[in-house]
Structure 1
């Protein structure tokens, strides 16, 4: 992963989310709903729900909204039934793309995603056609401006807590974990009073695809179009996008 800073690539997505808080809260509510529906409404007994709550709070989602989503899932409030769906395909230049959705209408979701791909130079593929190109990992970012710790201090703490590796740039420490160790590493950093700019379990491409300038422009438009879809939760791709740095 060296040379391909997730921190750089994530900025455009975060900025886009900040500009669309209402839509972000809707997506967070769906994620909370599914986590609580599958594992119960107690975050102490449901790691997926605990992670979803942490993400919602990091996005400044009001506590009332969080509690409402959980109550809907546990039957205390009426609400729609959401399903998790993953679509895989290829973007411009053959870049691998995975799209995670939470939807109450799979037919609508499939049509929306297919139209987005075809309109911007991509095409949907069969399940599993690109999933093998990605690895699921925990990802934690500490901005260097928020701490006096040097690289050695941070590396020692992260590895002792169970992290797999760490990358350092002028701006941030990027810590990678297995999904199973993510919560332990995160908690250890919090216990040592580090401020976490990002803390999530996400997908990383094993290799990156270089695109032409024209394909890169199309790819960015495809991502933006998918982000605008109501049901889309996450988008993963292996395109090396200079414009996102």
Structure 2
């Protein structure tokens, strides 16, 4: 199938920037709480909550944590009232950046995001300034050392996937957001064990920078992802295969 988003490569190469396990749990719990608040606590009837629970299970989150997060969202347990905020702008080198947040203090989050972008050489943009460069897609990734693309391709097509591509040491299966769960379920039923599964913002085109510029963008992404209010950070940065994070 055509297409090569390089998303898995980017996610893998910035793996060192991913949140620690405890912080990751906090972010997933926030997402489950707000999903339950907006759409109810019935996982089968709430697609957003279902996706968040899938992510929680993939992270090996204890069942009790999942249930408490849902009950906080439905009001059965007392919890913090989170608000969704999204920011658009540019990272160093003109790289487009989308930042999705869940916060209990909008002013604090906005100030922090603006400060981190400014200090890195980037800047905030108006709503819609870069989001048109991305498409919302379901994405399931597999270890290319464990499976071949042909093994994944046949089953992914049967399940209704849009695209399958190998990127570095990962195989990516792309779906529409509506088909994400059914495709994932079909692949799991075939006995395929995924590395990650999420609804993500995938860029239509990518920007390549030199080694120094790439390092600056990834450093910004790392700082943003370390912030408790930041849920997801997306960019259209293409990381070259010869990128060296330690090169001067």
**Common fold: TM-score over 0.5:** yes
Shift of residue 47 of structure 1? Answer: 1.3
Question: Could you list the runs of 5+ residues in structure 1 that have no partner in the other structure?
Answer: none
Q: Secondary structure at the match of 2:205?
A: coil
Shift of residue 62 of structure 1? Answer: 1.8
Q: Give me the whole-angstrom Cα distance separating, in 1, the residues matched to 2:192 and 2:116.
A: 40
Q: Give me the whole-angstrom Cα distance separating, in 1, the residues matched to 2:32 and 2:15.
A: 19
| Preserved contact between residue 8 and residue 244 of structure 1 (Cα < 8 Å) | no
1:30 correspondence with 2:21: no
Give the structure 2 partner of residue 200 of structure 1. 198
Taking structure 1 as the reference length, the TM-score comes to 0.92
Give the paired residue count: 242
Question: Could you list the runs of 5+ residues in structure 2 that have no partner in the other structure?
Answer: none
Deviates more, 1:66-75 or 1:128-137: 66-75
Taking structure 2 as the reference length, the TM-score comes to 0.91
RMSD: 2.0
Give the structure 2 partner of residue 218 of structure 1. 216
Higher relative contact order (CA 8 A, sep 6+): 2
Give the structure 1 partner of residue 90 of structure 2. 90
| Preserved contact between residue 31 and residue 102 of structure 2 (Cα < 8 Å) | yes
Q: Give me the whole-angstrom Cα distance separating, in 1, the residues matched to 2:58 and 2:244.
A: 22
Give the structure 1 partner of residue 158 of structure 2. 160
| Preserved contact between residue 3 and residue 163 of structure 2 (Cα < 8 Å) | no
Shift of residue 154 of structure 1? Answer: 2.8
Q: Give me the whole-angstrom Cα distance separating, in 2, the residues matched to 1:196 and 1:144.
A: 11
| Preserved contact between residue 101 and residue 233 of structure 1 (Cα < 8 Å) | yes
Give the structure 2 partner of residue 229 of structure 1. 227
Q: Secondary structure at the match of 1:32?
A: helix
